[in-house]
Amino acid sequence: MNTADRKALRGLHVAIIMDGNGRWAQSRGLPRLMGHREGVRRLKEVVRACPDLGVQYLTVYAFSTENWRRSRREVTGLMSMFARSIRREARELLKQGVRMRFVGDRTGLSPVLQDLFAWIEDLTAGNTRLHMTVAINYGGRDELVRATRAICAAVAAGTLRPEAVNEELIAAQLDTRDLPDPDLVIRTSGEVRSSNFLPWQSAYSEFEFTPVLWPEFTRAEFETILDAYGLRERRFGGVTA
Ligand code: IPE
Ligand code: IPE
Ligand code: MG
């Protein structure tokens, strides 16, 4: 795609389910955590590519509310990797004009990680070149439960009438309240499911499933997917003029 065509895609919100780290590692006889480590490297490449490719919002699934079912070793390894990556990449993210956000239930995470989230969100709050959101301890159903509780509490307190509840009000209670809905959701590793990722927000998103494992996801693959997305017709329930 040429630069002019790319411009037409400006302001895109791409969400990625970065899957396949474990299989990538296992197929090489490596521990699963090595796959996650390689996955962080691919994420850095994708982040760097986004502004050139017209992507203004990037939201990635790093740890689901269901991922606690994994071995203690893998879970603690992932948590320390998240903390390490935030510390290590902060300067580079600032330099690249990336604004960082986190979605998911933070109260279930360690105080150290919660502090790091708050620290980097604050540090990068003035950036606008790329809005990057990382979903950690995120589950779409859990997010809807938390939002529903907040709405019910307001109704019970008498500060909200049930008739005032509408789509905008619900969206404003979600962790993603400051983000537009994703235009495109990509899942790697050949699995064709959403695994509790952004169910409300992706109601009208386009989906792309690629067999490539996340640790092998390249900028070229990303570009190919974005090019294909550019050819799709989004109707939102209407009909083509
Ligand atoms: C995705 O890769 C990353 C996380 C869920 C943290 P997986 O770890 O799910 O990799 P596979 O699916 O086992 O290959
Ligand atoms: C989804 O992948 C979560 C992340 C990529 C962080 P999983 O590997 O956990 O999903 P399932 O278990 O295959 O549905
Ligand atoms: Mg997986």
CATH of the domain at 39: 3.40.1180.10
Look at residue 8 in the predicted model and tell me its pLDDT. 59
Q: What is the mean pLDDT of residues 186-194?
A: 98
Name the residue of 59, 64, 209 whose CB sits within 8 Å of the most ligand 2 atoms, as the mutation to test its pocket: 64
* Structural domain includes residue 169: no
| Domain extent for 80 | 3-138+181-229
Q: Residue 3 above 60 pLDDT?
A: no
67 is catalytic: yes
* Structural domain includes residue 234: no
What pTM was computed for the model? 0.96
Give the C-alpha separation, 81 to 86, whole Å.
9
Candidate list 52, 67, 183, 227, residue with the active-site label: 67
Cα distances (angstroms) measured from residue 25 to each of 33, 36, 105 = 8, 8, 28
Q: What is the mean pLDDT of residues 122-131?
A: 98
Domain count, the chain: 1
* Structural domain includes residue 170: no
Encoded tokens for 7: 């411009």
* Structural domain includes residue 189: yes
* Structural domain includes residue 14: yes
* Structural domain includes residue 158: no
* Structural domain includes residue 125: yes
* Structural domain includes residue 223: yes
pLDDT single digits (tens) 63-91: 999 999 999 999 999 999 999 999 999 99
19 is catalytic: yes
